[in-house]
Structure 1
Amino acid sequence: MKRLGVVVLLCLSIVLSGFTVYSANAEPPVKPVAGGTLQLPLDGDVNSLDPALFTTAGERAIIPALFDTLMIYDQTTGALDYGLARGIQVSKDGKVFRITLRKGVLFHHGRELTAEDVKFSFDRAANPATGSTAVSLLSAVEGAEVLAGGNAANGLSGVRVVDPYTIQINLSQPSMFFFTILAEPALSIVPKDLVTKDPAGFGRIPRGTGPFKLGEFGPQRIRLLKNDQYWQSGLPYLASITWTRYNTAKAIYDAFTTYETDLINLDPQYLDLLSKRGSWNKTMQTWPELTTFYFGFNMQKPPFDRPEVRRAVLLTVNAAAYLGLHGGAGEVANGVLPPGIGGHNPQRQRPVRNLKEAANLISKAGYPGGRGMPPIKISAGSMSGLQKQLLELVKADLETLGFKVQIEQIDPDKYDQYVASGQTNMFSYGWTADYPDPHNFMFNLFHSSQIGATNLTGYKNAQVDKLIDQAREERDPLKRLTLYQNIEDQIAKEVPMIPTFHPAAVRAFQSWVKGNSIHPVIPLFYAQMWLDKR
């Protein structure tokens, strides 16, 4: 496939510094074997396979097999490459993207993809009425604010069909990371005719341009079949993929060890156990997730309206113990940006745990020995075994400072709204990159415009807002990453949250699974996987 221009690739390689494609198969290349069914566990809820509406990890894992995006990631290098786009021209000011589409790309129901489908997909994803998780991804496109205000008559004014195979996107300000946005699964291209006909039902009968098409969608099993008209010649190799539901992590583990499944994402509690069994320790992969787990503070409500109290908690919590509950897979967080994201600073030092200094800070805030400290609630949207243990550890840590702590579980579907409404004092959360760029963390978690949406701590700093806006538009990649590091330094001084750890994912696979590469954004390169049981 044709590559992006040298300058663009250079910029992206710097922005995406730290990315690695992890190849599962180190043996010499062998000609792929066509056919066979890849057996995978159905992990978590899968209610909709509409790319604009997915909300669970299980849904996100399946959608790239059914749909394509304008940009994709190369399986070998991990670099951005053209997908449904055949070429992209960018204006000198970085605000205009003119995208030429591939000709002859067919949706699963046989109709050719056109620029009208791209326009429709982006308008739909950006419309708050759709309820898409992709709304914020398109916030830089002209007309996004108008659409967010309820004027949806003509969709995004900044997305215009030039001709059947050309689409133009105008941005309200330059965004260095817009190429990565175009590779985000939530912005997969959907057929305008089918979604318009049945918008509510499309997620149950999805039709994309991807390497596989829907065969069966049931509560216990989802089956995809090879798309014989796929636009990438010779792909996919597999005849089908089947996801089968298992109700517990133990059931998934047992299915793998009895060869019922070909590949699993390993639950941390089984990491050590599987590594000691047979030859599976040779077919396991560990890679850093683009995720930061943290405890956030309600900065508008006592006692965490006082920076001394927030810093005291930072000096008290035992992040290494929290990571230990995750099986030790990952690393203690020294900042907000995780490894693998541009701007991550491996030299940043986490303050050493210091209970004496923490107690002094509590006294300075007006609560000597914890006296007069209002009771606090620590909220969570899940109370799984590991999460419960984690919360109990945090509770014990805070009680050493004199806090009176109540742990509460909130309905996961209402959790974000509950936290954003300011009803809690402290909350457990995690942020995983929607796209591999530091802006995704800094803008969503700390920009004041996101208070009540993704900025759940209520953090507000005009200077930080200005720096985030500046970094978004900075075209020099090295200067841009330096800006993000400066932003993180300033935020760390104010302690709106306590990053605890960055998890690592562990995957185990049977020896006959080939082409199993991992990218931090794409769970599996389904089209290029194959099975060799010879």
Structure 2
Amino acid sequence: MKKLLSSTALIAAMALPLAAQQYTPDPDATPGGIITITYKDDVATLDPAIGYDWQNWSMIKSLFDGLMDYVPGTTDLRPGLAESYTVSEDGTVFTFTLRKGVVFHNGREMTAEDVKYSLDRVTLPATQSPGAGFFASIVGFDKISNGEAETLSGVEVIDPLTVQITLSRPDATFLHVMGLNFASIVPREVVEEMGDDFGKNPIGTGAFKLSEWTIGQRVVFEKNADYWRAGVPYLDGVTFEVGQEPIVALLRLQQGEVDVPGDGIPPAKFVEVMNDPAQAAQVIEGGQLHTGYITLNVGVAPFDQLAVREAVNMAINKERITQIINGRAVPATQPLPPTMPGYTEGFAGFAYDVDGAIAKLAEAGLADGFTTELYVMNTDPNPRIAQAIQQDLAAIGVTLEIRSLAQANVIEAGGAGQAPMIWSGGMAWIADFPDPSNFYGPILGCAGAGEGGWNWSKFCNEGIDAMAVEADSFIDPAAPERLELWSQVYQDVMAQAPWVPVFNEQRYTMKSARMGGDDALYVDPVSIPVNYDYVYVTE
């Protein structure tokens, strides 16, 4: 992982146009061609303010741009729609200069007014964006989120190509937030015309534009010939076929009909693939800042009792679950993955202890157990993992009913607070950016616990929230005091046990023999799962 800049170097870098952080195009890339990606489930939405799952994240990133972006295949920041920016000495005022001549897919030129509108929109409660909490440090966020205002007072249009954003405090994550899909710039007139249908009729400034969406069959992107980045994308288009079982997708890849199976290598076929040299040569492995976990809804009985949540944590055999995915993970003890700054070395978490779990249930007055539900995404291996969880809980007297649903339905139930328990697999948290705060705000903080949010445990502790705000109120992201605070945040979270952290997983995918581009583009840590803007075909 790239070491983050010290505070002195960070301020110096902020005042520069960032020209040195450009990406060198692949000299072997050949323009043209259309590739095929498969998924089992249909696409829920392509609205950047709403979409937040494994499947649509990279699609949205290819349709839209934000002020900041990342060097392809890395988590290193680079310029996006902002040509340059400056920051005040106290780290609270960012002034962005926009690129000239950038146009939306409908041909209209983008301006600072679009930036203002897009940031207002994503934070308005009516939008129900799961990413709204990322923008909490902008002045005026509290008033817009509680309905007292309709715009962010901290976002000001200086002129058509200049926008100034004032923060209520220094925010070590702010530039990363400006690179998230949630900060994508959208055209007001199209959003207002389409209303709730904007997610099916997206218009952005990205490298690709939507050309077809046949519900239940396919989504088709075509190259944006007017894209502001010279030379990309290389491809003429991308076709996403949905309704494809992962095992069928693998067979079609072997036959040359599919270029990337979006759901990855089916676990039942993993050993077979890796033992075949020809297929193994097409496999790409990449590290990822990932944690798979079970959420325990603290607003639903009996998970409103700490002893019950502790019992469930103690009942789960994490080692056995990692074997279900062919050992492609290590057991987790805390929300942060081991390679994330702020991870607490030596933190034991809850040990596997069936007798201890039974005692905890008795302490909660549930010696005879109880019945509850576990929601799970219906793509293998998640239903099998759910069955393992079911067996573990049966050993302590808990009857678990499994609800295996499409990804979008699980996400909807979690956001609405309807699910007592959720196994996050297939949707499990992979960092949006390499900072410990990203594992807190949207999935454990109070801001993510509202309607539609991704904090499916609905856990909200104002004291821990305040500590998290303090941890982010640094100019230097790598300050030791800041990382110590984040370590304490996650230890305090685990003391309340709203989650069962299960494992930290490595990422494996496959590509067809004709696909070109650096392997890192197929396990891109930001454009999950594939950076479509920079891959290409060789025939």
Asked whether the two chains share a fold, i.e. TM above 0.5, the reply is: yes
Describe how 1:4-153 pairs up with structure 2 within 5 A: 7=7, 30-75=27-72, 78-151=75-148, 153=150
**Partner-residue secondary structure (3-state), 1:490:** helix
The SS at the match of 2:388 is helix
Secondary structure in structure 1 of the residue aligned to 2:495: helix
Cα gap change, 1:500 to 1:236, in 2 (>3 Å)? same
The CA distance in 1 between the partners of 2:307 and 2:194, in whole Å, is 54
Amino acid at match of 2:495: K
Distance change >3 Å, CA 458–CA 231, structure 1 → 2: closer
| Equivalent residue letter for 2:464 | V
2:399 to 393, 397, 405: 405
TM-score by length of 1: 0.85
Candidates 428, 431, 439, aligned match of 1:441: 439
Structure 1 residue 161 displacement after superposition: 0.6
1:498 counterpart residue number: 500
**Alignment partners' CA distance in 1, 2:134 and 2:70:** 18
Indicate the larger mover: 329-338 or 384-393. Answer: 384-393
Distance 1:173 1:466 in 2: 13
Confirm or deny: 8 A CA contact 2:378 2:405 kept in the other structure. Answer: no
SS at match of 1:521: coil
Q: Secondary structure at the match of 1:527?
A: coil
Contact 1:86 1:101 in 2 (8 A): yes
1:183 positional shift: 0.7
Matched with 1:334 is 333
Displacement of 1:107: 1.9
Aligned residues of 1:333 and 1:500 also touching (Cα < 8 A): yes
1:262 aligns with 2:259: yes
Moved more, 32-41 or 249-258: 32-41
Indicate the percent of aligned positions where both proteins have the same amino acid. Answer: 29
1:485 maps to 487
Of 189, 205, 220, the match for 1:223: 220
Q: Could you give the per-residue CA deviations for residues 447-502 of structure 1, whole angstroms, max 9, x where no partner exists?
A: 45654554444545454233212102133422211211122222223323211112
1:438 touches 1:484 (CA, 8 Å); kept in 2? yes
Deviation for aligned residue 1:189:
1.2
Give the total of aligned pairs: 509
Matches within 5 A, 1:321-470: 321-345=320-344, 347-362=346-361, 365=363, 371=367, 373-382=368-377, 386-401=381-396, 403-409=397-403, 426-429=421-424, 430-448=428-446, 450-452=448-450, 453-457=453-457, 459=459, 461-470=461-470
For structure 1, list consecutive stretches of 5 or more residues without a partner in the other structure.
Answer: 14-28
Could you tell me which of 199, 208, 211 is aligned with 2:207?
211
Deviates more, 1:116-125 or 1:38-47: 38-47
Instruction: Say if 1:262 and 1:382 are closer, same or farther in 2 by CA, change over 3 A.
Output: closer
Unaligned runs of 5+ in 2: 14-25
What's the offset of the Cα at 1:163?
A: 0.4
Residue 318 of structure 1 aligns with an amino acid whose one-letter code is N
Report the Cα offset of residue 303 of structure 1.
5.1
- Residue 165 of structure 1: how far off its partner (Å): 0.5
How big is the shift at 1:323? 2.2
Report the Cα offset of residue 361 of structure 1: 4.4
Letter in 1 for 2:492: Q
Kindly provide the amino acid, as one letter, of the partner of residue 170 in structure 1: T
Distance in 1, Cα, partners of 2:526 & 2:384:
29
Give the aligned partner of residue 522 of structure 1.
527
CA gap 1:253/1:359 in 2 versus in 1, 3 angstroms: same
Q: In structure 2, do the counterparts of structure 1 residues 357 and 150 end up closer, same or farther at CA, with 3 Å as the change threshold?
A: closer
Partner of 2:282: 283
CA distance in 2, matches of 1:300, 1:213: 41
Distance 1:149 1:253 in 2: 48
**Which secondary structure does the structure 1 equivalent of 2:170 belong to?**
coil
CA contact (8 A) 2:361 2:369 kept: no
Specify the SS of the correspondent of 2:198.
coil
Whole-Å separation in 1 of the counterparts to 2:135 and 2:443: 17
- Offset of 1:351 from its aligned partner? 4.5
Q: Distance in 2 between matches of 1:47 and 1:424?
A: 19
The 3 A distance-change label for structure 1 pair 312 and 74 is same
TM-score (norm 2): 0.84
Q: Report the 3-state secondary structure (helix = DSSP H, G, I; strand = E; otherwise coil) of the residue aligned with 1:141.
A: coil
SS of 1:260's equivalent in the other structure is coil
- Hey, what's the Cα distance between the residues in 1 that align with 2:152 and 2:364? 51
Q: Which moved more, 1:245-254 or 1:77-86?
A: 245-254
Distance 1:460 1:117 in 2: 33
Q: Report which stretch shifted further, 415-424 or 304-313.
A: 415-424
Report the Cα distance in structure 1 between the residues aligned to 2:508 and 2:482, rounded to whole angstroms: 32
Could you give the per-residue CA deviations for residues 368-403 of structure 1, whole angstroms, max 9, x where no partner exists? Answer: xx63x45231331545553333333223222333x2
8 Å Cα contact 1:288/1:330 also seen in 2: no
Contact 1:75 1:525 in 2 (8 A): yes
Higher deviation after alignment, 347-356 or 524-533: 347-356
| Alpha-carbon separation, structure 2, partners of 1:8 and 1:109 | 42
